[in-house]
Amino acid sequence: MPELPEMENYKRLLMENIGNKTITNIQVNREKSINVSIDFFIDCVRLQKVLHVERRAKLLVFHLENGYKLLLHLMLGGFMYFGREEDKPDRTVQIQFSFGEEDLYFIGLRLGYLHLLTESEVSDELEKLGPEPLDINYSLDAFLKLIEGKRGRVKTTLIDQEFLSGIGNCYSDEICYDAQILPTKGIDELTNEEGGNLFHSIRRVLNLGIENGGYMDQPFFPGDVRTGGVRKFLKVYDRESEQCSRCGDIIIKEEISSRKCFYCKGCQR
């Protein structure tokens, strides 16, 4: 599932390609991917300019000229593609927005959705989410206070969207590796020093993800070489049985609370 860096990458790409452009046509092939009738959706969205695209946690908000918002959650398997009909991946498209000659395709939206909401409805949806880990106001002190007295393992705490928003399965493993902390360790067992390391690793790993275009394997447009660039920097995620680049031990895959978890026993404590 795309996480904070992947959605940040999409936000940037969307702004570059559809920012201030008018949605000239809409096709909805799967009514379940939206929250209102297809007719109402098209009435509200067609001929609107996309003024701005904003990211919050793993979601994107498209701000339309008429004040309506589109809330996108790609969930597992969802992705976007921008280009001409002949270039698009050979996959079933759930929703298609035309911008003149080019189209934005929403693909793989099975659990994912694109909801048409008012400003206050969007606020209600986002209200329960925890702080943005890269928010400049989110300090080390605030983080240490949050983990104080918190129960649960380090990995499950990092992916808890009410604790911190935007981190999922991949980056939680990479963050634990970067901080040299076992993902299976209890968050209440961390020393202040380890807590500090974890805080800095969250920033370092998420920023690395953003700077390198996230890990999505589908390019956003023909010739997009940016998207997916972080995959070569991932140290443990999906690297079961490979050698750890830090200590040479073998990377382990384990299930924690029914989630895949990758780590190195040699150098994570």
Which residues would be at the binding site for Zn ion (CB under 5 A)? 244, 246-247, 249, 264, 266-267
Name the one residue in this structure whose structure tokens are 């929403």: 106
H or E element that contains 104 = strand 102-107
Query: Sign of the CA dihedral 35, 120, 160, 233?
Result: positive
What DSSP string runs through 221-234? STT--STTGGGGG-
**Token pair 């067609």 in the structure block, residue:** 46
Structure tokens belonging to residue 247? 């200590």
CB of residue 185 to Zn ion, shortest distance in Å? 15
DSSP 41: H
- Minimum CB distance to Zn ion smaller for 46 or for 246: 246
Identify which of residues 180 and 218 has a Cβ nearer to Zn ion in the complex.
180
Q: How far is the CB of 223 from Zn ion (least distance, A)?
A: 37
CB 182 → Zn ion: shortest distance, Å? 11
Which lies closer to Zn ion via its Cβ, residue 14 or residue 175?
175
* Closest separation in Å from C-beta 78 to Zn ion: 33
Q: How far is the CB of 215 from Zn ion (least distance, A)?
A: 21
Asked if 177 and 249 count as a contact pair (C-beta separation under 8 A), the reply is: no
Residue 16 burial class via C-beta count within 10 angstroms: exposed 0-12, middle 13-18, buried 19 and up: exposed
C-beta of 6 vs 178, nearer to Zn ion: 178
Q: Is the CB of 146 or the CB of 236 nearer to Zn ion?
A: 236
